[in-house]
Structure 1
Amino acid sequence: MEIGAIDGATRVVGKGQGYCGLPLRDEVVNCTVNGPNTPAMVTAWKPSADELAALNAGAAVHVRILGCVPPPMMVLVGPAPEALPSLEEFLERG
């Protein structure tokens, strides 16, 4: 998967740690466990042509989380890609 630019991004994390930089959007959600106004972060990922073919053939999405205790998370489908800028365009905007 390639990092995507997410609409309404509020910050880019990880660049100072040597990673590519991950644009994310900070949100507040109503969670049935943690209650109203629970902070959340959303990122966007785009499958390559080969990954998209595998997904269309029934492959599962795998999520790798570094560390030993995974945080609560959700996996969703975002808007169609033509509505969003590329990662390079997003990073150029600052």
Structure 2
Amino acid sequence: MQPLRISNATRVLAETQNEYYALAIRDEEIGGVNTMTSVWEPAPREMADLANGGAVRLTIIGTGHPPVMLTTQPAPEGE
């Protein structure tokens, strides 16, 4: 998956770290909890995997698992 530029991004993580993708995020508050939201686009192979009953996999670096949330969003209008 490739990170996309999220609308109304509030900052970009790893912008100057060449070994990582720059990740545009939007800082938000959801139900009184601070969150950081990013948008990702599946590659064609990943879209095929999902269409054929595959699943989304989340990998956390390290040994502690932070709270996470995976959702979907509709395609931008006009596409």
Shorter-chain TM-score tier? 0.7 to 0.9
Residue of structure 1 equivalent to 2:46: 51
**64-73 vs 14-23, which moves further:** 14-23
Q: CA deviation at 1:79?
A: 2.8
* TM-score, L = length of structure 2: 0.87
Higher relative contact order (CA 8 A, sep 6+): 1
Residue of structure 1 equivalent to 2:37: 42
Determine the C-alpha separation between the residues in 2 that align with 1:73 and 1:60: 16
Deviations 1:5-30 (A, max 9, x none): 11111110012333121000000011
Runs of 4+ off more than 6 Å? none
Determine the C-alpha separation between the residues in 2 that align with 1:5 and 1:81: 12
Determine the C-alpha separation between the residues in 2 that align with 1:26 and 1:58: 32
Q: Whose helix proportion is higher, 1 or 2?
A: 1
Q: Which runs of 5+ in 2 are unaligned?
A: none
* TM-score, L = length of structure 1: 0.74
**Aligned CA-pair RMSD:** 1.5
Determine the C-alpha separation between the residues in 2 that align with 1:81 and 1:66: 30
Determine the C-alpha separation between the residues in 2 that align with 1:14 and 1:68: 21
Tell me, yes or no, if structure 1 residue 4 matches structure 2 residue 4. Answer: yes
Equivalent pairs counted in the alignment come to 77
